[in-house]
Structure 1
Amino acid sequence: MLLEFIATIALGLGIAGLVMALNLVLGRRLPRWAMPAAAGLGMILFLVYLEYSWAPRTAEQLPDGMVVTSKSSQSMWYRPWTYISPLSLRMIAVDTRRNRSHPDWPGRVMTTMVLFERWMPTREVPVVFDCDDHRRADLHSGVELGEDGALHGADWYRLEADDRGLQAACESAARGRPASAER
């Protein structure tokens, strides 16, 4: 956040310098408001670019085996341009590099869901996907894994068969290796 702030200020100063130089070349014919207006507009456009490019930049930096399964898009009144093109500020990825399964429960895959949100720390949630029954259980403090691989105290959430998180975890488990980077 601090680096983006510094880059925005530097960009504004650079644009102001360019407009000042252009004004000198033109014999001071530009109106007095041209320099601050150009600097302000440039900074706003740069910030909009940073906001819209956050999700693609973050997804590109993910290692192989992490599959983006969900992006949320929203419009905000204090960002009126988001009504034209909604902004993605949150993503969920499944880290298939951490897939594990129990021999007694081959249809279940234990893995990690990674939650990304702009300006917030990344959070990891251990989960179990049941590939056969199309459901997911989050592994929180009340869930215990028995010796036989059974989950005790888990709350199961029904998923659609085409849920991208379920597909990523189950397909990579079936192949026995992490999923390729599908962004």
Structure 2
Amino acid sequence: MFVELIATVFAGIGAAGLVMVLNLMTGRRLPKWLMPVAAGAGMIGMTISNEYTWFGRTAERLPDGVEIAMTVDEQSWLRPWTQVAPYTKRFVAVDVANLRRNATQPDQRMVDLYFFGRWSPVNQTPMLMDCAGARSAVLIDGAVFAADGSVSDADWQAMPGDDPILTMVCET
């Protein structure tokens, strides 16, 4: 976030510098208000660029075995350019490289999900997926594993059969 702030400030300085050079080349005939307007436009342009490139930059840095299962695009009237082209604000990644199975429970898989947000810290959640039952349970509070691998006290939630996370985990 700090690097993006510095980049935005320098984009404004650079845009104002270009107008200053153009003003010198035209014999100081450009209006005085053009330099601050160019600085503001440069900063807004850099902010928009950062919004649209965040997802690609973040996805590039994911380690091997962590795959993106779902993205959430956003449109906002406060950002009118998103009405034309929405940007990715959040996404969910699945750590398929460390997917765990139990031979006694072949339809269940345990994975770590990572929730990324544009201005949010990354959240990790261990989740148990039941592929045959199309359901999932977060393994944070109260889930206890028995000797045969079954889970008691899990809060199972039904999932649609075409859920991208369930599909990715169950096909792996």
TM over 0.5: yes
> In structure 2, what is the equivalent of residue 128 of structure 1?
128
Structure 1: how far apart are the matches of 2:92 and 2:64? 15
Match of 1:69, SS state, is: strand
Q: CA deviation at 1:98?
A: 1.6
Structure 2: how far apart are the matches of 1:76 and 1:142? 39
Judge conservation of contact 2:99–2:111 (CA < 8 Å) in 1.
yes
Q: Aligned AA for 1:84? A: V
Pairs within 5 Å for 1:32-181: 32-172=32-172
Q: Aligned AA for 1:153? A: D
Percentage identity across paired residues of the two chains: 43
Match of 2:97, SS state, is: strand
Q: 81-90 or 36-45, which moves further after superposition? A: 81-90
Structure 1: how far apart are the matches of 2:69 and 2:44? 30
Structure 1: how far apart are the matches of 2:41 and 2:127? 45
Measured against aligned partners, the alpha-carbon deviations of 1:40-66 in whole angstroms (never above 9, x if no partner) come to 111101101101111122112212211
> In structure 2, what is the equivalent of residue 177 of structure 1?
none
Q: Which has the higher contact order (CA 8 A, sep 6+)?
A: 1
Match of 2:76, SS state, is: coil
Q: CA deviation at 1:103?
A: 1.0
Structure 1: how far apart are the matches of 2:145 and 2:67? 26
Judge conservation of contact 2:7–2:46 (CA < 8 Å) in 1.
no
Structure 2: how far apart are the matches of 1:53 and 1:81? 14
Q: Aligned AA for 1:115? A: F
Structure 2 unaligned residues grouped into runs of 5+: none
Structure 1 unaligned residues grouped into runs of 5+: 173-183
Structure 1: how far apart are the matches of 2:118 and 2:155? 28
Across the aligned residues of Structure 1 and Structure 2, the Cα RMSD in angstroms comes to 1.3
- In the TM superposition, structure 1's runs of 4+ consecutive aligned residues that sit over 6 Å from their partners are none
Measured against aligned partners, the alpha-carbon deviations of 1:108-147 in whole angstroms (never above 9, x if no partner) come to 1101110001121111000011111211111122111111
Structure 2: how far apart are the matches of 1:130 and 1:165? 12
Q: 51-60 or 98-107, which moves further after superposition? A: 51-60
Match of 1:97, SS state, is: helix
Structure 2: how far apart are the matches of 1:104 and 1:10? 59
Q: Aligned AA for 2:35? A: M
Judge conservation of contact 2:104–2:148 (CA < 8 Å) in 1.
yes
Q: 27-36 or 78-87, which moves further after superposition? A: 78-87
Q: CA deviation at 1:156?
A: 1.4
Match of 2:29, SS state, is: coil
